[in-house]
């Protein structure tokens, strides 16, 4: 036991970087970071056209209600994020919720997804994945009526927690969030 050398954390990091950083993919090392409360809100839209919009609004879609199923899909998307994004850390999700708002003026459905966790890294990817899962579900249930659908404007609106604190999308926030932030 006399010949054992104690390796300090910074020495371990140095040789690990030397071996693994060059020409390879790697997850960001968050092992030394402190866990903090993290939260993110993302949004996105899908243009479905007047016919599909009215069918959804009147709950007459052939494959069922896209809004209800999309809200469930958002939860599944959040929970499966680290399985689908190769370098994304698996996180212990503490809360997620989604909301879908229908906009008559342009025949769109706008999806919002919020995610929170007490973790060493943020939940932005989980919120964005929740939005995308919901949008793709709406697409799948709507394409039978009209395949000319358009998903657009998927973005992170707010993230908070960790060293950087609160971040708000510089393009602005929806009106209902402006009162809060």
> pLDDT of 36-50, one tens digit each?
999 999 999 999 999
pTM here is 0.86
Has 65 been annotated as catalytic? no
pLDDT at site 111: 98
Q: Mean pLDDT: which of 6-20, 100-114, 161-175 is highest?
A: 100-114
Question: For residue range 136-179, what is the model confidence (pLDDT) as tens digits?
Answer: 999 999 999 999 999 999 999 999 998 889 999 999 888 888 77
Q: Are strands 108-119 and 93-103 parallel, antiparallel or unpaired?
A: antiparallel
Q: Are strands 108-119 and 36-47 parallel, antiparallel or unpaired?
A: antiparallel
Question: For residue range 51-105, what is the model confidence (pLDDT) as tens digits?
Answer: 999 999 999 999 999 999 999 999 999 999 999 999 999 999 999 999 999 999 9
Query: DSSP 3-state assignment of 85?
Result: coil
pLDDT at site 179: 76
pLDDT at site 178: 77
Residue in the structure block whose two tokens are 């993290």? 38
Task: Give the start-end residues of each E strand in the chain.
Answer: 36-47, 93-103, 108-119, 150-160, 167-168
- Looking at the predicted structure, is the pLDDT value of residue 11 above 90? no
**What CA–CA distance (Å, rounded) separates 70 from 132?**
10
Furthest CA-CA distance within the chain:
79
Compare 7 and 105 and report the one with higher pLDDT: 105
Which of 14, 29, 104, 140 is an active site residue?
A: 140
**What CA–CA distance (Å, rounded) separates 54 from 60?**
8
Compare 17 and 119 and report the one with higher pLDDT: 119
Instruction: Specify burial of residue 56 (Cβ count, 10 A radius: 0-12, 13-18, 19+).
Output: buried
pLDDT at site 163: 85
- Looking at the predicted structure, is the pLDDT value of residue 30 above 60? yes
pLDDT at site 29: 83
**What CA–CA distance (Å, rounded) separates 44 from 42?**
7
pLDDT at site 161: 94
Residue in the structure block whose two tokens are 């989604």? 98
- Looking at the predicted structure, is the pLDDT value of residue 13 above 60? no
Which residues have a Cβ under 8 Å from the Cβ of 167 and sit 6 or more positions away? 158, 159, 160
**Mean pLDDT over residues 26-45, rounded?**
91
């Amino acid at each position: 036991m006399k010949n054992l050398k104690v390796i300090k954390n910074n020495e371990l990091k140095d040789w690990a970087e030397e071996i693994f950083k060059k020409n390879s993919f790697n997850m960001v090392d968050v092992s030394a970071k402190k866990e903090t409360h993290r939260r993110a809100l993302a949004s996105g839209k899908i243009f479905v056209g007047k016919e599909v919009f009215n069918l959804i609004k009147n709950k007459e879609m052939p494959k069922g209600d896209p809004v209800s199923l999309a809200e469930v899909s958002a939860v599944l998307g959040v929970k499966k994020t680290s399985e689908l994004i190769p370098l994304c850390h698996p996180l212990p999700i503490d809360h997620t919720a989604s909301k879908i708002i229908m906009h008559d003026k342009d025949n769109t459905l706008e999806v919002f997804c919020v995610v929170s966790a007490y973790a060493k890294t943020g939940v932005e990817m989980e919120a964005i994945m929740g939005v995308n899962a919901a949008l793709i579900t709406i697409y799948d249930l709507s394409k039978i009526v009209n395949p000319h659908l358009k998903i657009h404007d998927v973005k992170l609106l707010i993230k908070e927690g960790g060293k950087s604190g609160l971040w708000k999308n510089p393009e602005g926030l929806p009106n209902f969030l402006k009162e809060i932030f």
